Structure 1
Amino acid sequence: MTLAQAQTSDEQELREDLAAAFRLAVKFGWHESVGNHFSVAVSDDGSKFLMNPKWRHFSDIKASDLLLLDATDDAVMEREDAPDPSAWCIHGTVHRSNPAARVLFHCHAPNATALATLQDPTLKPIDLNTARFYGKVAIDLGFGGMADEAEEGRRIAETLGNKPILIMGNHGVSVAAATVAEAFEHLYFFERAAETLLKAYSTGQPLAVMSDNLAAKTAAEWEPYVGMGYAHFAHLKRELDRTQPDYRD
């Protein structure tokens, strides 16, 4: 196989994984109308990346539908097939400034979004899933409306930094990772963790919050389980292959 063929093969694999993530987001109820966006870089510097087209429902997205964008191209938004302005603002800026965030999911998943509306949206470590993210969550409380200004994009990218999770106050959540499978697993567990915390809050009883040492220990104990995310995503893709095989087209 030539280098060009290998690169084409790698991009097709990324397209299929990202298309699968959109379909699965519908399965888990994380989508919202025809908005929200997932992206994945296809170049090492993050500048070339794939993202869903403007106003396409997640359930319809196929691998071939994904836009190949250049985060350094200022003329992107002038073209007929320009992406959603807010998506370009967030994803273009993060991919351009933070190559380590190869995959970026932004959505308004119900529980994560509800958590983001609290005056204190901290994900407190009260069980295994909430403690999984101890020390790994950034919080942005600088909401300024729709994220369609360059300064908004820069602030979001800087606040995310090297963390895998960004709680966007009054907005939603963004998840960063090195692979689509890891990003999907982060989002899956963060949404579960947010649900657990919100249910605990709803009882009105005091929370049994872990000590910093115990939370850090629990978070570290999750690290060897990274393969669990790959197995989970592979299982879910096999389900899609049986029920919605056109995601790969």
Structure 2
Amino acid sequence: MSQSCPITPDLAPIYAHRPADIDPEHWRARVNLAAAYRLAARQGWDDLIYTHLSLRLPGQDGLFLINPFGLRFAEICASNLLLIDTQGQVADGTGRRANPSGFAIHGAVHRARADAHCVIHLHTDASIAVSALPCGLLPLSQHAMRFWQDIGYHDYAGLAFPPQEQEALLQQLGAHPALLLRNHGALTCGRTVTEAYVLMDALERACRIQLSAMAASPQLHLPPKDVLDLTHRQLLPGNEPEGLLEWPALLRKLYQSEPDFCR
């Protein structure tokens, strides 16, 4: 499930720089993940050199692509992504450095969820702020309604991430597409890079909208439950991963100004 969209003629140059020793599906996965890193940087979602976007290598359940530890999101390109194993150890023979502790959350989700091919975990101001509210994410916007009764919450328990906390996180994530980690940040998972990215975009926007509304007035208008239930059903993607229409547009925009991401 690494493919996010068909490679139409306008997208072909983006995937054209494949090294001879990397198969097409592997390279396509690298390009899409690198694009997500660059787009995240543009959105201001990065946290110095911390947080990660990880992707299961197509056809290899035990291998994942992730950013090298020490690079900013804006420095990521298809060729410098690391290949790591389920423990976060570098498996590509390059001797470069990964961040095994940073992969702890990702690895747990990847192992538990066969559909979680891509996992995004961020420390944005808006997601941390909303995660710290007792009410959590409120259905104040259509963006938030995508997650109506379909988001988990995990209480903060410090920097360490022992197996028992991983198990608790997985229970709270369940089958949801997203998780707010209290006092910590946000996580989304998707069948493709595209799906995980557009889910994070919707969640981040929902958090920002909520904070703006709460700052403007203590009185908030919430739609009735039957409308929330209906809207959530309407926003669900069905069998196709979310973001299939958005991703080509995002790739074209990125390629115009940062063509090095796909090399």
User: TM-score, normalization: structure 1?
Assistant: 0.87
State the secondary structure of the residue aligned to 2:208: helix
Q: CA deviation at 1:232?
A: 1.9
> Structure 1 residues 227 and 67 mapped into 2: Cα distance closer, same or farther (>3 Å)?
closer
Asked whether 1:64 is paired with 2:99, we answer: no
The aligned residue for residue 137 of structure 1 is 151
Distance 1:228 1:151 in 2: 32
The aligned counterpart of 2:207 is 194
- Relative to structure 2, which stretch is displaced further, 12-21 or 94-103? 94-103
- In structure 1, what is the Cα distance between the partners aligned to 2:105 and 2:179? 12
| 1:100 maps onto 2:115 in alignment | yes
Cα distance change of structure 1 residues 42 and 109 upon mapping to structure 2, 3 Å threshold: same
Contact map agreement 1:112 1:191 (CA 8 A) in 2: yes
- The one-letter code of the counterpart of 2:222 is V
User: d(CA) in 2 for partners of 1:148 and 1:201?
Assistant: 32
TM-score (norm 2): 0.83
Is the Cα–Cα contact under 8 Å of residues 41 and 48 in structure 1 kept in the other structure?
Answer: yes
Q: Give 1:159 shift.
A: 2.1
Report which stretch shifted further, 45-54 or 7-16.
Answer: 45-54
Shift of 1:102: 0.9
1:90 equivalent in alignment to 2:102 = no
Q: Which runs of 5+ in 1 are unaligned?
A: none
Q: Aligned runs of 1:39-188 on 2, under 5 Å?
A: 39-43=54-58, 46-71=61-86, 81-121=96-136, 123-141=137-155, 143-188=156-201
Contact 2:89–2:98 at 8 Å: present in 1 too? no
Provide the secondary structure at the position in 2 that maps to 1:87.
coil
Please give the secondary structure, in 2, of the residue aligned with 1:229: coil
Compute the displacement of 1:105 (Å). 0.3
* Preserved contact between residue 165 and residue 175 of structure 1 (Cα < 8 Å): yes
Residue 42 of structure 2 is aligned to residue 35 of structure 1: no
Amino acid at match of 2:100: P
Runs of 5+ unmatched residues, structure 2: 1-19
Q: Kindly indicate whether residue 199 of structure 2 is the aligned counterpart of residue 215 of structure 1.
A: no
Deviation at 1:29, TM superposition (A): 0.9
SS at match of 2:120: strand
Asked if the contact 2:191–2:241 (Cα under 8 Å) also holds between the matched residues in 1, the reply is no
Query: Once the two structures are superposed, what CA deviation does each residue of 1:28-58 show, in whole Å capped at 9, x if it has no partner?
Result: 1111111110011124574221111112100
Query: Any runs of at least 4 consecutive aligned residues in structure 1 with deviations exceeding 4 A, and if so which?
Result: 73-77, 224-228
Alpha carbons 2:88, 2:100 under 8 Å: kept: no
Return the offset for 1:150.
Answer: 3.2
- 2:231 matches 1:230: no
**C-alpha distance in 2, partners of 1:23/1:144?**
30
- Equivalent residue for 2:258, pick from 225, 239, 244: 244
CA gap of 1:75–1:237, structure 2 versus 1, over 3 A, is: closer
Answer yes or no: is the 8 Å Cα contact 1:85–1:148 preserved in 2.
no
Deviation at residue 76 of structure 1 after TM alignment: 5.7
> Could you say what secondary structure the match of 2:197 adopts?
helix
Q: CA RMSD in A?
A: 2.4
The Cα of 1:104 is off from its aligned counterpart by 0.2
1:85, distance to aligned residue in structure 2 (A): 3.2
Count of residues paired in the alignment: 240
Q: Residue 153 of structure 1: CA displacement?
A: 2.9
Question: What does residue 203 of structure 1 align with?
Answer: 216
| Cα 1:215–1:44 shift into 2, 3 Å | farther
Q: Is the 8 A contact 2:118 2:196 kept in 1?
A: yes
CA distance in 1, matches of 2:166, 2:71: 22
Tell me what 2:14 maps to. none
What amino acid does structure 2 have at the position aligned with 1:212?
Answer: K
**3-state DSSP of counterpart to 2:65:** strand
